[in-house]
Amino acid sequence: MTTENQMDAEASFDNTDLEELSERVKRVLDIGDRKYGIPPKTYPKCFVGSEAVDKLVEEGIASHEEDAVRIGNMMLNAGVIHHVLDAHAFKNEHLFYRFLSDEDHGTAARKPDGSTVSWADFMTPLTSPGDRSLSLQPKIPGRDTNLASFSQVDLEACGVSPMDEHNTKFMDLLHPKGWVDPEPKPSYNLVVIGAGAGGLVSAAGAAGVGARVALIESHLLGGDCLTVGCVPSKLLLRCAKAAAVRNAAEFGVHINGEVTVDFGFVMERMRRLRASIAPVDSAERYSEKLGVDVFIGKGKFTGENTIEVNGKTLTFAKAVVATGGTAAVPDIPGLKQAPYLTNASVFNLTELPARLGVIGAGPIGLELAQAFQRLGSQVTVFSRSDKILPKEDPDAAQIVQHALRRDGVTFAYHVNYKGVETRGGKPPITVFVKDGNGERSLEFDALLVAAGRKPTVRGLGLEDAGIEYDERRGVKVNDRMQTTNPDVYAVGDVASKYQFTHMSDFGARLVIRNALFFGRDKFSNLIIPWATYTEPEVAHVGLYEKDLEEQHIEFVTFTRVFADVDRGIVDGETEGFVKIHVKKGTDQILGATIVGSHAGDMISEITVAMHGGMGLGKLANVIHPYPTVAEAIRQCGDAYNRGRLTPTVKGIFNRLMALKR
């Protein structure tokens, strides 16, 4: 963690143009010809690292030694200075460094890796020594090719209801009715449009290191995750899990009488707990405690470095587009005239629909399908293809499908939607389809559209800022999350195919480093886990088998099914598995999929191993409590280590043991 003094030093560094900072530092240093080595060699126009640290602190450029070393390394990474032999990072030691501008005439400047410096290095930061030669991000299905023609849900039009005490508290925190915007500062280090996960982390992180920050949100601070996504859906899923007590007979638990669900209470609980979480994302907290200028209104770029909100112009050095996305509504005849639900409106329900249709077989559709089925609805899920969870391991998707079928969910595959009809725009809703069962109609009391998400790019004035985008893929960014306007970055669902809250969070952390501190972090280097919270859960990290095959990477897969794990057996949860792929001939973990009741938690152990470079063989040495399902990970490691015992090695061991008998 950084101290307040460190934050102040980093903020001052950020507030200074790189060229101006370089000149300022250069003026206070003792630069001259210096001798080094045996026999001594003269290096022209050098300065000493330890002397530079003292000067940076003495002149107030840095607060203390650690800050001075950090600033020196920022300058080194940005290609401003380098060690005379390209052998060291910047250190508080008697080492010689040189400004690249002071290189002898006719001698090419060198980067730390020994290669020559080019103009491209100043356009794109240097590659981090920690970068991986192989990206461990899988190829997942892109956004629907027809997405640009789909309509987009307006969150404000959906509203928040009912306005009981919980939703009133919720709204007062995230969109205060009497909010008065602050007067804009002359300029901002960072202006953020959108207060979802990516925007909030960008604003809080930048403000935390002393930057002057403005945050703009037109709807509710907290974004989809808090309001209509992760938080309310998991609250609903927990209640649905409790309702699954109907299936307790296999454990010898017999319920006399009918199990009933108070759906009104379930949704009231959701609203109450959601409101209890909201203060951390509130306008008051960001304004008063974090020092962020919060503007509630629609922000629009008016130039390359200006944004207008509520008639006021904000001038920025850097900006972040974090407007996310909303539910996309496919152009099915009659659908727009029907009272359909999306994730933006389904949590406003107060009565349980007896029959629920779900258009879409991805994570959102399946999580809500299982929840509503367990709470008492009869649910039908429609899929255009022959599968559910199209991005997941097929074996994992099949287990989830079996689980939902056991709960009573029905599926329709290879669906061609012919139309939707209602009577006066009210339920029931009739969906006309052609699928494997021919042409037929199905009637529902509610229809949930979960066919994908469309990036929010309209009305932002992106053209006026020189930012390229399209309505299907969103804002165009490079590997450092930088748009075609070098002063503007984009993060989260508006710019990434990995539409997860945790990726918006870590994407924002990457953006802060790259935008404010001359960072050179690459999005492609991030190792990204995710989970679908059906029961059983599906979790994944790294590459899938199909990715490895397409990239012609030789690999070996180790699988441990929970039917062979003691805890899985005693819990009666034997259908899942742990599947881990390693590079052939090594124990390097390339990817993993877990299906089980705690898969979302278990995947983190493998993610940590991949992030730290720990191989599967070493995971076999990690002691796990017994009995736990996580033992399956260790057992995959055991299987890898056993596989290393070739017939020759086994023969040697056998002869050795024979000699000792």
Prediction pTM value: 0.79
Q: pLDDT per residue over 18-75, tens digit each?
A: 677 888 888 899 999 888 776 777 888 899 999 999 999 998 888 888 888 888 888 8
* CA–CA separation, 76 and 54 (whole Å): 18
Q: What is the pLDDT of residue 140?
A: 82
Phi, psi of 61 (to 5 degrees): -70, -35
Nearest to 475 by CA among 362, 319, 329, 343: 319
Interatomic CA distance for residues 176 and 506, integer angstroms: 28
In the beta sheet, which residues pair with residue 327? 453
Angle in degrees, 0-180, between the axes of helices 599-611 and 631-643, rounded to the nearest 10: 50
The predicted pLDDT at position 653 comes to 65
Task: Show Cβ contacts of residue 157 under 8 Å, excluding neighbours closer than 6 positions.
Answer: none
**With helix as H, strand as E and coil as C, how does 89-144 read?**
CCCCCCCEEEEHHHCCCCCCCECCCCCECCHHHHHCCCCCCCCCCCCCCCCCCCCC
How far, in Å, are 27, 96, 109, 115 from residue 84 at the CA level? Answer: 19, 6, 10, 13
Query: Residue 178 has which token pair?
Result: 């009497």
Q: Two tokens at 119?
A: 């103009």
The whole-angstrom separation of Cα 611 and Cα 304 is 37
Query: Beta-carbon neighbour count of residue 252 at 10 Å?
Result: 6
Contacts of 201 (CB under 8 A, 6+ apart): 504, 505, 508, 509
Write down the CATH number for the domain with range 4-123: 1.10.10.10
Closest CA to 563 of 596, 598, 604: 596
Torsion from C-alpha of 269, 274, 279, 280, nearest 10 degrees: 140
Q: Per residue in 349-408, pLDDT tens?
A: 999 999 999 999 999 999 999 999 999 999 999 999 999 999 999 999 999 999 999 999
Nearest to 314 by CA among 463, 191, 207, 193: 191
Q: Which residues are within 8 A (CB) of 384 and not within 5 positions of it... i.e. 6 or more apart? A: 414, 415, 416
> In the numeric block, which tokens belong to residue 207?
């403000």
- DSSP-assigned beta bridge partners for residue 626: none
CATH architecture of 536-647: 2-Layer Sandwich (3.30)
Helical axes 394-407 vs 363-375, angle rounded to 10°:
20
Distance of alpha carbon 535 from alpha carbon 405, whole angstroms: 12
Q: What is the mean pLDDT of the chain?
A: 88
List the chain domain ranges. Answer: 4-123, 159-253+261-328+455-524, 329-451, 536-647
Superfamily of domain 329-451: FAD/NAD(P)-binding domain (3.50.50.60)
Provide the 8-state DSSP code for 183.
Answer: P
Q: Tell me, what's the pLDDT at 648?
A: 65
Same fold yes or no, 4-123 and 159-253+261-328+455-524? no
Q: Check residue 66 and give left, alpha or beta (phi > 0: left; psi -120 to 50: alpha).
A: alpha
Long-range Cβ contact pairs of 35-38 (< 8 A, separation 24 or more): 36/84, 36/96
Assess contact for 422 and 443: CB atoms under 8 A. no
List, in sequence order, every residue forming a beta bridge with 355; answer none if it has no partner.
Answer: 378
CA-nearest of 505, 512, 1, 521 to 206 is 512
Q: Which residues of the chain have pLDDT under 50?
A: 1-16, 104-131
| Contacts of range 25-30, beta carbons closer than 8 Å, 24 or more positions apart | 25/52, 25/56, 25/61, 25/71, 25/75, 26/99, 28/55, 28/56, 28/58, 28/59, 28/61, 29/55, 30/55
- Give dist(CA 374, CA 391) in Å, integer: 25
Which residue in 272, 263, 236, 282 sits closest to 164, CA to CA?
A: 272
Token code pair at residue 9? 């030093």
**CATH homologous superfamily, domain 159-253+261-328+455-524:** FAD/NAD(P)-binding domain (3.50.50.60)
84-117 in b/e burial notation, b at 16+ Cβ within 10 A? beeebebebeebbbbbbeebeeeeebbbbeeeeb
In one-letter notation, the amino acid at residue 109 is A
The token pair at 351 is: 């009565």
CB of 317 closer than 8 Å to CB of 189: yes
pLDDT value at residue 21: 80
| CA trace torsion 653, 655, 658, 659 (10° rounding) | -110
